[in-house]
Amino acid sequence: MTDPVAHWPGELVSVGTDELFVRRAPVPGAAAAAEPVLFVHGLGGSATNWTDLMDLLRKQPADRPDDPALACEAVDLPGFGFSPPPASGRYTIDAMAGAVAALIDKRGNWPVHLAGNSLGGAVCVRLAARRPDLVRTLTLISPALPDLRPRVLPLRLAVLSAPGIGAVLLSRFEQRATPEARAALMIADVYADPGLVHPKRRAQEAAELVRRDGLGYAGDALLAAGRGLVAEYLRGGPRSLWRDAARVSAPALVIYGSHDRLVRSAMAAHAARAFRGARVVVLSRTGHVAMMERPGLVAKEMRELFASARRPAPASRVTR
C-alpha cells in the first residue's frame, strides 16, 4: 500500500459576510485554458474528501491527450473543515447552496463542472436547478435526495438531529469514544471495504476530529446541517429536491454505490427518471464515498461527462 497523496493546501475566501476555505490542486502546464471543477463534501466531511480524485483529474490522461486541463477546487461548507460558521447561523440546503453559488460568482470563472457527495449532492442539485448559468456539468455521488424508506444509519441521523436530544447523544459519544474509535466507526459507515483506507488516512481523520472538538461550534454545525437535511427529506411540492432534480438542465452524472449504507443504490432508478438525460451508474463493491473508495472509476466517468459536454449539439432538423 503506497503512501496517499498529501491534502491540497487552501485559503480562506471572503464571500459576502462569510468566509469559505477552499483547497486547490495545482494544474500542470497552461492553467489559463483549464476548465474549473468545484467539489462539495457531505455531512461531517470536508474538502479533503476529494484529495485523491482531484489528483487524478488534474493530470492529463495518456488516452485523452487533447482534453483541456482541469482546475480542481474543493470547498469546506460553512461551519465544516476550516470554514468558520456562517454569519447568519443558517445551515439549510438553501443557505449552503447560496454560499457555493456566491463562491462561484466570486471566482468569476463560471460555468463550472460541479460535483457533490451526499449532503453536498443535495446542495449541488439545488444550486444547479436555481442557478443553471453557473453550472456546466453536474456530478452527484450518493446524493442525499429524499428517500423515506427506513434504514438504520439515516434513522440515526434523524435522531441526532432532534433538538436537545441530538446534542446530548453526540456529547456522550465524543466523551466515551476515542478519536481513533470515532474515525473507525465513520469509515465503517461510509466504505464498503474499510480495509482500503490507508493507515495515514485513518490517523488524519482522528487528528481532524481532535481539532474539530476544540472549535466549540463543530457539534452545533453538524447537528444543524443534519436538521436542514432532514427538513428537505420531509419537504414536498414544487420546492422539493426531486422537483429541483427535474429542473436541472446541465449534463449530469449520478453515481451510487452498491453497498452504500446511507443512500440506497435502488434510488438510481428514481434518479434516472428525475434527471433529464443523465447517466446513472451503480458501482459494485462501493459504499457512500465512491470518490474516496474508487477514485479511478469516478475520474473516468467524470472525464466522459466533461467530454460529452464539449461536443457540439446535433444540428436541428426542420421538415417541411
Place of cell 482500503: 196
**pLDDT tops 80 at residue 37:** yes
Is residue 204 a contact partner of residue 223, using CB atoms and an 8 Å limit? no
Q: Would you call 143 exposed, middle or buried from its count of C-beta atoms within 10 A (0-12, 13-18, 19+)?
A: buried
**pLDDT tops 90 at residue 51:** yes
Is residue 132 a contact partner of residue 124, using CB atoms and an 8 Å limit? no
**pLDDT tops 70 at residue 36:** yes
Tell whether the torsion through CA atoms of 196, 202, 203 and 205 is positive or negative. positive
Could you tell me which of 95, 102, 104 has the C-alpha nearest to residue 122?
Answer: 95
Gap between the Cα atoms of 94 and 183, Å rounded: 29
Q: Name the helix (H) or strand (E) containing 122.
A: helix 119-130
Gap between the Cα atoms of 94 and 88, Å rounded: 12
pLDDT at 315: 44
Rounded (5°) CA angle 120-25-8: 80
Please, what is the average pLDDT of the chain? 89
DSSP category for residue 252: E
**pLDDT tops 50 at residue 168:** no
Gap between the Cα atoms of 310 and 292, Å rounded: 26
DSSP letters spanning 41-67: --TT--GGGGHHHHHHHHSPPTT-TTS
Could you tell me which of 296, 246, 313 has the C-alpha nearest to residue 54?
Answer: 296
- From the CB of residue 179, how many other CB atoms can be counted at a distance below 10 Å? 18
User: pLDDT grade, residue 317 (50/70/90)?
Assistant: very low
Q: Edge to edge, what strands does the sheet with 10-15 contain? A: 10-15, 18-24, 70-75, 35-40, 112-117, 135-141, 252-257, 279-283
Grid cell locating 62: 495518456
Tell whether the torsion through CA atoms of 23, 63, 201 and 263 is positive or negative. positive
Angle (deg, nearest 10), helices 295-310 and 51-58: 50
Place of cell 485523491: 52
pLDDT at 319: 34
Gap between the Cα atoms of 233 and 246, Å rounded: 16
Averaged pLDDT, 136-143:
98
**pLDDT tops 80 at residue 149:** no
Could you tell me which of 94, 107, 142 has the C-alpha nearest to residue 280?
Answer: 142
For domain 10-149+236-310, give the CATH number.
3.40.50.1820
Pick from 38-42, 179-183, 269-273: least confident: 179-183
Q: Report the predicted TM-score, pTM, of the whole model to 2 decimal places.
A: 0.92
Per-residue pLDDT tens over the stretch 97-123: 999 999 999 999 999 999 999 999 999
Pick from 164-178, 182-196, 232-246, 288-302: least confident: 164-178
pLDDT at 2: 79
* Beta strands 18-24 and 135-141, pairing class: unpaired
Gap between the Cα atoms of 121 and 141, Å rounded: 7
Per-residue pLDDT tens over the stretch 64-98: 878 889 999 999 999 999 999 999 999 999 999 99
Could you tell me which of 302, 290, 317 has the C-alpha nearest to residue 142?
Answer: 290
Task: Pick the more confident residue, 274 or 30.
Answer: 274
pLDDT at 172: 55
User: pLDDT grade, residue 318 (50/70/90)?
Assistant: very low
Q: Name the helix (H) or strand (E) containing 188.
A: helix 179-190
User: pLDDT grade, residue 173 (50/70/90)?
Assistant: low
